[in-house]
Amino acid sequence: MSMYQLTQIPSEAQIRKLLRRVVFGSTIHCPLCSSRKTTNFEGRFRCKKCRGRFSLLSHTWLAHLRLPLPQFWLVLWCWTEQIPVKQTARLTHLSLVTIYHWFEVLRSKLPEDQELLEHLIQLDEAYFGSKSKNTLRALFVGKQVDSKKLAYKIVNKSYPVREDAWDFLRQKVAPETQVATDGAKIYRGMEKWWPVTHSYDLHRKFEFEQTSEIEGVFGCLRTFIRRMYHHVSCDKLPGLVHEFCFRFSHPEMFESPYQYLLITLRLVPLS
Ligand SMILES: [Zn+2]
């Protein structure tokens, strides 16, 4: 058993207690009819009203969990702490494939929402993938200045055009916003297409002032992908960008496995 397991991972009984609080709150109730009249036999519950059967996780997205709870908790802890995939595989004694799978599952449970940006924002684009393999993607990210609010859009082409930048504005940026960009042509004239005011830097004149925050975000995104996942294929790019933006905007959700589960683990109808 590793140091991480000894210091970070609660016992199976403690995990059950935490999960019970997350899923059911203060009182066990039937996931089918909400009745609180239930019987409990060795962790299997039965509803006296509708006769439905359930267990702690049977009506959540962890219904088919095959890992022992402490091992699952350790995987989740590693993911919230941004432990790289290889290191997580070593710590958990699981295969790299399994860790990639689990990290993808955990990412997929993050809420979908992207926020509408307003007041003053910085907007820039970056490129991922390779031109020779025909996998180059353009990523637009906007950041509301002096806030943790981000919005993004991935464009499946190597050379985004003005319409792509304007689409981003229409979908992610509130009217009357002040937008700062670099001097790229795709941003010129945006105020004619969406009611914003636009200011821009010309990088060749060494003016980086107006887009310094968003360039910092792109730097963090590239470091995040390289450190935690080593590389990104184009089919995984949307997921990793979503995860990065969510970590950036909602750091409280990644403070512990418990905080993450509080937001993602709910009673859902069985499909
Ligand atoms: Zn019931």
| CATH 3.30.420.10 residue ranges for the chain | 120-251
CB 12 within 8 A of CB 19: no
Q: Write the secondary structure of 57-78 as one string of H (helix), E (strand) and C (coil).
A: CCCCCCCCCCCCHHHHHHHHHH
Q: What DSSP string runs through 79-145?
A: HHTT--HHHHHHHHT--HHHHHHHHHHHHHTS----PPB-SEEEEEEEEES-TTTT--EEEEEEEET
Instruction: Tell me how far the alpha carbon of residue 12 lies from the centroid of ligand 1, in angstroms.
Output: 27
Instruction: Tell me how far the alpha carbon of residue 258 lies from the centroid of ligand 1, in angstroms.
Output: 27
Look at residue 128 and tell me whether its pLDDT is greater than 60.
Answer: yes
Distance between CA atoms of residues 22 and 58, nearest Å: 14
Cross-strand partners of 87? none
Q: Which fold has domain 120-251?
A: Nucleotidyltransferase; domain 5 (3.30.420)
pTM for the predicted model, two decimal places = 0.89
- Residue 233: band (very low, low, confident or very high) from pLDDT cuts 50, 70, 90: confident
Instruction: Tell me how far the alpha carbon of residue 264 lies from the centroid of ligand 1, in angstroms.
Output: 23
CB 16 within 8 A of CB 10: no
pLDDT given for residue 179 in this prediction: 94
pLDDT tens per residue across span 138-154: 999 999 999 999 999 99
Instruction: Tell me how far the alpha carbon of residue 166 lies from the centroid of ligand 1, in angstroms.
Output: 51
pLDDT tens per residue across span 66-119: 999 999 999 999 999 999 999 999 999 999 999 999 999 999 999 887 789 999
pLDDT given for residue 270 in this prediction: 47
Instruction: Tell me how far the alpha carbon of residue 269 lies from the centroid of ligand 1, in angstroms.
Output: 12
Query: Residue 78 contacts by C-beta under 8 Å, 6 or more apart in sequence?
Result: 4, 87, 88, 91, 92
pLDDT given for residue 58 in this prediction: 94
Instruction: Tell me how far the alpha carbon of residue 50 lies from the centroid of ligand 1, in angstroms.
Output: 4
Instruction: Tell me how far the alpha carbon of residue 212 lies from the centroid of ligand 1, in angstroms.
Output: 56
pLDDT given for residue 203 in this prediction: 63
State the CB neighbour count (10 A cutoff) for residue 243.
Answer: 24
Instruction: Tell me how far the alpha carbon of residue 40 lies from the centroid of ligand 1, in angstroms.
Output: 13
Instruction: Tell me how far the alpha carbon of residue 110 lies from the centroid of ligand 1, in angstroms.
Output: 29
Within 13 Å and on the Cβ side, how many CA atoms surround 253? 20
pLDDT, the chain, mean: 90
Is residue 158 classed as helix, strand or coil in its secondary structure? Answer: coil
- Residue 204: band (very low, low, confident or very high) from pLDDT cuts 50, 70, 90: low
Instruction: Tell me how far the alpha carbon of residue 177 lies from the centroid of ligand 1, in angstroms.
Output: 51
pLDDT tens per residue across span 113-123: 778 999 999 99
Instruction: Tell me how far the alpha carbon of residue 227 lies from the centroid of ligand 1, in angstroms.
Output: 47
